[in-house]
A and B are shown apart, each in its own frame.
Chain A
Amino acid sequence: MNEPSIILSDVNARQSVFHRRAFLLGGGITLGVSALAGRLAYLQLVGNARYAKLATSNQFNFRLLPPPRGLITDRNGAILATNRPNFRLLYARQKDQDPADMVATLAAYVPMDDLRRQRVLRDLGNAPRNTPVAIVEDITWEQFSAVNIRATELPGVTADMGEVRVYPHGGAFAHVIGYVAKVNQEDITETGPNAEPIMLHPGFRIGRQGLEKSLDLELRGRPGAQKVEVDALGRQVRLAPGGDIPATPGKEVQLSLDMDLQVRGLELFGEESGAAVLMDCRSGDLLALVSAPSFDANRFVRGLSTAEYKALATYDHKPLFNKALTATYPPGSTFKTLVAVAALEHGIDPEMTIRCPGYWYFGRRRWRCDGVHGPTNMHDAIASSCDTYFYTISLQLGPDKIADVARRFGLGQAYDIGIPGQKKGLVPDTEYKRRNFPRDPRWHIGETPSLGIGQGYTLVNALQQCVSAARMANGRKALTPRLIRAIGGVPQTDGAAAPDMDFDPAHLALVREAMGSVTTRGTAARTGQIGLGDIRMSGKTGTAQGYNYNGGRGIHGTNGPWHLRDHAWFVGFAPHDTPRYAIAVLVEHGGFGAQAAAPRARDLMRLALLKDPELRSRIERPPAPPVSVADSGAGGQGGPA
């Protein structure tokens, strides 16, 4: 150790070193701060535009807005399917949150039963985190505002206003229009329109049945976007002014149906099951396409409970089933009109009479007829629906000639009216037998008589029956039905642009004449009178043995268990002289055609005639000097034929 001493020079040395170095330190710090300032200038002045853009993209998000679904109207513009505002409660599962707790909390604000709660929890379990799931739809304004006020205490919960599909006529159009429902996992595809992100929006609905399904893309529209300000967690803070992209609404679809006729058609069935189709026999426009009983499509939009669905699915009258298109039945005696056309075409004299003793022997088997008609020509055979006559002439014609005519009348085929899932039915011939019965490929002659009266293999649906009646009434064109009149204002081709059927007009006129007698003095004389002055309805009744045709030994009429009874048919057209509308009515297990089907056809046809301005003026015209109306017994509201 040195001897301690204070050396002045040393003190000065330390001081001057410190001063030099402190000066350097100050310089160094200044340099450092200048570097910061330079960096700041670079970020804030040079990079400003870029970072401002990044900040904006942080701040604002575009939220998809589901487009308003296209309206569906009837031919006169009456609304059949529309959208109404819907306040609903959405909840997106957050990190560190038990959805069950949140649902329990929400139950304090909106009513939720246990079933609903389970359903919601299941939906939440399936949905990815942060994806909003609808907790309750259609809450009241009070509930909506109660939740909105407490939004900050309920992270992940939003109450918003969306739109919900509504079908103002309940069940009347349920089978035609179908319904929309929530999007399932299976609906989402990898590519195409069903891959779009709007599919995941909780307010979005996809067409699930009927036209809603087949025209889904037309009705859907294009989603818009709403500019919203979001925080770092992606939660909406507020709506941003401007910058919204409006949604493009779906196209409006106009149907050829007439709202009044359709609603009336459903009402006419009451508790019965069946179908009614009414069609313009000049243009092919369908004015009614009813299947009964029906269901409330609005329930499906909201989401059906299992119990509700089970009740619909297990009811033996099959309300979910479109009986006008997807159910086929034997045509029964209505088929005789076509057999008659085939007979005329192949040279059978309509004035030739066949004696009907009330039964008919083929080989050793006895076939029965509904009545003892005595000597019967073609006109009378149609009017009184004589089986014996048609057993005989069908045997003369053979199956192939009958089948050919039936097909030209439009049976055995599906029509492109925009509703998928139609059944084509069956028009049997020797070719059919050969192809489908490898063990017994030959057409047995004994199978022909039942074909002649519309039994056997023959199967038709109500739409085909109506088309057939319309072609008969039209007399010339092979009309096709049209259901969709216009999509987005663009008219769809109508059924009048159809080729000719190539029948001798005189033959069809003859059959039509006979059909006129059905409602004046034939099978439907008491139940087929529409009572509109000199306008009359022509038609043909049919009683089809669906369950087990056995040479007419089935359960007849309204006896026996419901599901074993005959199906009742009526096909026809009106007015009888200048046909305007064709109709086909089926009452499933309804018993006799004249009893169950004809009155319903009459009532529906009467409404159609009254709604037609042209015919209405004819009805209201002062009656011409007495014509032969008296012999039909005006106001024929009689009992069964």
Chain B
Amino acid sequence: MTLAGLSLRAERGRLIDKLTQIDGVFCLALILIAVAGALMMFSIAGSSWEPWAANHITRFGVAFVLMVALAVIDLRVWAAIAYPLYAVSLILLVAVELVGDVRLGAQRWLDLGPLGSFQPSEIMKLGLVLALGRFYHGLSADRARMSWWLLIPAAMIGAPTLLVAHQPDLGTAMLLALTGLTVVILAGLSWKIIFAGLGLALVALPPFILFVLQDYQRQRILTFLNPESDPSGTGYHILQSKIALGSGGLLGKGYGLGSQSQLNFLPEKQTDFIFATLAEEFGFVGCATLLLLYLAVIFMSLRTASLAHSHFGRLTAAGVTSTFALYVLINGAMVMGMAPVVGVPMPLLSYGGSVMLTVMVGFGLVQSVRVHRYTEVTASKSSLI
């Protein structure tokens, strides 16, 4: 540190420097998606800011400020809190298992008294990415490719995944597992292991479905495979969503004129199925535009990861990106009837605070990686193992 670095003026200058490093186009894309979400909420509430649209915009505003604030935090600080954050998340997940609230048949919520309640699995999404990035940062390419050392990330992924799956929240568990695996693969996992694992998963899938899944989960999968079999029961959501999408056509029915969403045929129209609402009112053109926005966010984020000098920065930014991409793909597939109904929202578009917070905190990390892309992370051990 130089002397100048200690002066207040210089500090301020560096802060402004950092802020200008934040990707403006990226922020614009995020804002556009969030505004599209609010627009749809305004429409389905019968042209009213209440109860969703105003809330959504406020939350996004707060989360956006948070993202900018996190972006200026030094990457080394992120690296330093990686393991502690993971540990705390894991402890909270165990706590949820022991004392959590049961809501809608699943034990996901931790009551914090006056502070409200939250889902520890959301913090874990970030904690896992950070911890894996931190771990691989110190691991050589060879060992990351194939070695006994890989049992450590396997455990790091496995423990939270199983805990969340036991709540049971299959959607989040799947998301955690897939995010973790993406980081592991990006870090250089041998193709042999990848393909072997894929083969094993395929073999294990049928017994898993038959013996491990709960009845309602199995039912969802069966319904997914043949939604028309029970149009008023479990297949109702998928069918109504497809009707909403399909009836939108090329240009949509017009803003505020979607009969499926306005008349409540569409379930969860403001949360998990908001994409179908948009599809109904804005048609293929609206949907394609939105998907392009998502794709732009993903690519800008991936590019940030590629530009980072530190392995930690690369992996964490890519990990967050993959979480985001998985949200988009899983929700999109679900809404279009290509995947079973799992409670995965469309990030930034859907109404809901905790996922919005997770995603924006994640993007705070990504922007921090961008701002500090030349920073060398040496962390505790200034060496590679």
Contacts and interface: CB of A to CB of B under 8 A. Distances in A.
A229 to B, nearest CB: 7
Interface in B318-354: 318, 321-322, 325, 328-329, 332-333, 336, 338
B332 A36 contact: yes
A514 B270 CA distance: 96
Interface string A28-44: 01101101110111011
Interface string B237-261: 0001011111111100000000110
Contact of A55 (B244, B294, B322, B385): B244
Most chain A Cβ neighbours within 10 Å, of B141, B240, B245, B305: B141
Contacts of B168: none
A21 B188 contact: yes
Most chain B Cβ neighbours within 10 Å, of A14, A41, A231: A14
Contact of A18 (B244, B315, B338): B315
Contacts of A22: 186, 302, 305-306, 314, 318
Interface stretch (B4-12, B93-101, B116-124, B281-289): B281-289
B83 interface: no
A14 B248 CA distance: 47
Contacts of A41: 284
Interface in A1-57: 1-2, 4-7, 10-11, 13-15, 17-19, 21-22, 25-26, 29-30, 32-33, 35-37, 39-41, 43-45, 47-48, 50-52, 54-56
Given A26-B299, A232-B265, A44 B250 contact: yes
Contacts of B302: 22, 25-26
A537 B383 CA distance: 135
B291 interface: yes
Nearest to B231: A54
Contacts of B328: 33
Given A6-B383, A52-B247, A58-B259, A25 B288 contact: no
Contact of B383 (A5, A29, A52, A56): A5
B192 interface: no
A23 B2 CA distance: 39
Contact of B291 (A21, A37, A43, A232): A37
B263 A237 contact: yes
A51 B141 contact: no
A56 B322 CA distance: 39
B284 A4 contact: no
Given A33-B295, A36-B291, A55-B247, A21 B336 contact: no
A59 interface: yes
A229 B242 CA distance: 20
A32 B243 contact: no
A496 interface: no
Most chain A Cβ neighbours within 10 Å, of B259, B318, B321: B259
A40 B186 contact: no
A60 to B, nearest CB: 9
Contact of A233 (B141, B250, B264, B325): B264
Contact of A25 (B250, B311, B318): B318
Given A4-B383, A25-B182, A17 B333 contact: no
B103 interface: no
B339 to A, nearest CB: 11
B384 A52 contact: no
Contacts of B250: 44-45, 48
A526 B69 CA distance: 118
Interface in A191-230: 229-230
A18 B333 CA distance: 27
A44 B248 contact: yes
Interface residues of A, number: 47
B314 A45 contact: no
Given A32-B325, A58-B265, A231-B264, A51 B384 contact: no
Nearest to B335: A36
B186 A4 contact: no
Given A40-B288, A40-B336, A45-B249, A58 B243 contact: yes
B92 interface: no
A45 B2 CA distance: 63
A474 B332 CA distance: 90
A415 to B, nearest CB: 56
B247 A54 contact: yes
A56 B249 CA distance: 14
Contacts of B357: none
A43 B245 contact: yes
Nearest to A1: B385
A58 B242 CA distance: 13
Nearest to A30: B295
B130 interface: no
A10 B299 CA distance: 27
B298 A51 contact: no
B279 interface: yes
B311 A2 contact: no
B314 to A, nearest CB: 5
B266 to A, nearest CB: 8
A22 B307 CA distance: 11
B283 to A, nearest CB: 6
Nearest to A58: B265
A51 B383 CA distance: 60
Contact of B141 (A1, A2, A13, A45): A13
B384 A7 contact: yes
Contacts of B287: 37, 40, 44
Given A18-B188, A22-B306, A52-B247, A36 B263 contact: no
Interface of B: 140-142, 144-145, 182, 185-188, 240, 242-250, 259-260, 263-265, 279-280, 283-284, 287-288, 291, 294-295, 298-299, 302, 305-306, 311, 314-315, 318, 321-322, 325, 328-329, 332-333, 336, 338, 381, 383-385
25 contacts: A1-B385, A7-B384, A10-B141, A14-B311, A17-B188, A18-B315, A21-B186, A22-B186, A22-B302, A25-B182, A26-B299, A32-B325, A36-B332, A36-B333, A36-B338, A40-B288, A40-B291, A44-B283, A47-B246, A48-B249, A52-B247, A55-B243, A58-B265, A59-B263, A233-B264
Given A37-B288, A44-B249, 20 more contacts: A6-B384, A10-B384, A18-B188, A22-B306, A22-B314, A29-B322, A32-B325, A33-B291, A33-B294, A33-B329, A36-B329, A36-B332, A40-B279, A43-B245, A51-B242, A51-B245, A55-B246, A58-B260, A59-B260, A59-B265
